[in-house]
Structure 1
Amino acid sequence: MIGEFLHTEQFKVVNSFEELIKAEFREEINAFCWERNLAGDFKEVVSKLKLKEDVTDVSIEDLLNLCLSVNGSIAREQIINDLTLLTDLGALPVLNLIKAYPRDQEFDFISTDVYSFHVDRSPVSTDTFLCTYHGAAGDIIPNNQVEQKILIPEIRQKLKDLHDGAETEFEDFLKENYFDMHYQLKTGSTPVSLGIGNLWRLAVDRPGQQVLPCVHRAPLENDGEYRLLLIC
């Protein structure tokens, strides 16, 4: 159970969707988990969906068109219910069938893809919601167990060498290329798995945010297995 691993003061478990959306980020708390043990056969749902791209958007219509067993139908109903709850909240949830995300291979000293520990950023007031229904689950990590990559001396120097502009524009360069959003684990750090079926709400780097944004990453996919992920 996720609750057994929330050994920090930063991640908190709630018991309902209402608690999840009403809980306040404060002090060090920057992630809430509605811990769930979902009924239904989500593997069957995944097996019936068609992968069109490495990351394929799945609509409610796509789900409704699937011919499923009783357990598969229970899983489908749960997914649609989650999508509806978040949509009614004013969010824009997306259901993704994932073979693999694009990898950032441009530089050998820093990565800016979602497999790297990172924070989300938004110009408007919003939070990140995540739920893995099937496949490998991502991780989050307490902020005091990571270091911003741009502050690591050898990485920062290489970024300065890469930057073609005035010194006064360097910080803007880091932000424009998303380098400042990525983090490296400190020695002895302990990531926390998001788990399967749990609905998470993570703090985002945005205007008016009162807490540090939550650091998280996508997992490496299991061989031969697609992920089914709700995200918004």
Structure 2
Amino acid sequence: MYNAFSDNNQIGVVSSFSELINLHFQGDMNAICWHRNSLGDFKEIVEKIELKENITEISIADLLALQLSEKGCQARERILEDIQLLADFGASPSLNLLKSYERDDELDFISTDVYSFHVDRSPIGTDTFLCTYYGAASDILSNDQVEQKILIPEIRDKLKELHDGPEAEFESFLEEYYFDLHYQPKPDAKPVNLGVGHLWRLAVDHPAQQVLPCVHRAPVENNELRLLLIC
């Protein structure tokens, strides 16, 4: 199978949900894509759902209540199938209509919101699954194209000033406030956009993980709503 992701060592490409969940992360590969053609009119769903706040969670009942065209029904079926597949696998998928995420602008030298390149962490063995059905899609970067922000000298010095506590507790402070999860792209970094309609599985930082966690970020929405399934 050849597609835009096939030549990227970071990404494994599969053609079914079974392959998506059973392919093992290894080496540089810490992202797996179930590559699919877009099916149906997801814009119709977005236009018929009421945005109640910046992030509105959509239930299965909400979806089923929509009066849709044939193409809208196709799109709804795709979403419902994905939710069922993930639920049967043991995940807890959430379908969200997004205007924007909350911004972290408290500190001018480091950001810890999802628009910053970051990794996910879990105390248990798990992965992040996501699919953008409509709107801007997330980006990922290979681990050799980023630098952990807490290792950049000028940022680290400012974090030490912010901590203002015993040196022995500094690393715990970085973890407690999630500073250690965020990364700075190197000057020649080339982000890969995850595209619309594909279901992705991204490696998470946890004790049993055999590969480096996948560095990713949410896109800037530019006043366009996003329809995103994530767990």
TM-score category (smaller protein): over 0.9
Tell me which amino acid in the other structure corresponds to 2:229: L
What are the equivalent positions in structure 2 for 1:84-103 lying under 5 Å apart?
A: 84-103=84-103
Tell me which amino acid in the other structure corresponds to 2:121: R
- Residue pair 2:5, 2:11 contacting (<8 A) in 1 also: no
Tell me which amino acid in the other structure corresponds to 1:51: L
Distance in 1 of aligned mates of 2:76 and 2:5: 29
Distance in 2 of aligned mates of 1:122 and 1:59: 25
Distance in 2 of aligned mates of 1:145 and 1:6: 19
- Residue pair 1:135, 1:221 contacting (<8 A) in 2 also: yes
Of 5-14 and 42-51, more deviation after overlay is shown by 5-14
TM-score by length of 2: 0.98
- Residue pair 1:2, 1:195 contacting (<8 A) in 2 also: no
What are the equivalent positions in structure 2 for 1:69-148 lying under 5 Å apart?
A: 69-148=69-148
- Residue pair 1:2, 1:35 contacting (<8 A) in 2 also: no
After superposition, the C-alpha distances for 1:131-151 in whole angstroms (9 at most, x for unaligned) are 000000010010000000000
Counting matched residue pairs gives 231
Distance in 2 of aligned mates of 1:188 and 1:7: 18
Identify the residue that residue 204 of structure 1 maps to in structure 2.
204
- Residue pair 1:135, 1:222 contacting (<8 A) in 2 also: no
Identify the residue that residue 231 of structure 1 maps to in structure 2.
230
2:3 counterpart SS class: helix
List runs of 5+ in structure 2 lacking aligned partners: none
Q: Does 1:45 align with 2:48?
A: no
Instruction: Name the CA shift for 1:21/1:143 in 2 (closer, same or farther; >3 Å).
Output: same
After superposition, the C-alpha distances for 1:31-65 in whole angstroms (9 at most, x for unaligned) are 10011112100000000011111011111110001
Tell me which amino acid in the other structure corresponds to 2:88: D
- Residue pair 1:160, 1:170 contacting (<8 A) in 2 also: yes
Alpha-carbon shift at residue 26 of structure 1 (Å): 1.3
C-alpha RMSD of the superposition:
1.2
List runs of 5+ in structure 1 lacking aligned partners: none
2:222 counterpart SS class: coil
Q: Does 1:170 align with 2:135?
A: no
- Residue pair 1:33, 1:199 contacting (<8 A) in 2 also: yes
Distance in 1 of aligned mates of 2:222 and 2:155: 30
Percent sequence identity is 66
After superposition, the C-alpha distances for 1:177-214 in whole angstroms (9 at most, x for unaligned) are 00000001001110000100000000000121110000
- Residue pair 2:118, 2:216 contacting (<8 A) in 1 also: yes
Identify the residue that residue 192 of structure 1 maps to in structure 2.
192
Distance in 2 of aligned mates of 1:150 and 1:71: 47
Instruction: Name the CA shift for 1:2/1:138 in 2 (closer, same or farther; >3 Å).
Output: farther
1:3 counterpart SS class: coil
After superposition, the C-alpha distances for 1:110-149 in whole angstroms (9 at most, x for unaligned) are 0000000000001111100010000000100100000000
After superposition, the C-alpha distances for 1:201-229 in whole angstroms (9 at most, x for unaligned) are 00000121110000000000032x21000
2:40 counterpart SS class: coil
- Residue pair 1:6, 1:192 contacting (<8 A) in 2 also: no
Tell me which amino acid in the other structure corresponds to 2:225: Y
Q: Does 1:56 align with 2:61?
A: no
Instruction: Name the CA shift for 1:201/1:2 in 2 (closer, same or farther; >3 Å).
Output: farther
Alpha-carbon shift at residue 4 of structure 1 (Å): 2.1
Distance in 2 of aligned mates of 1:5 and 1:222: 25
Identify the residue that residue 216 of structure 1 maps to in structure 2.
216
Tell me which amino acid in the other structure corresponds to 1:77: E
Q: Does 1:29 align with 2:68?
A: no
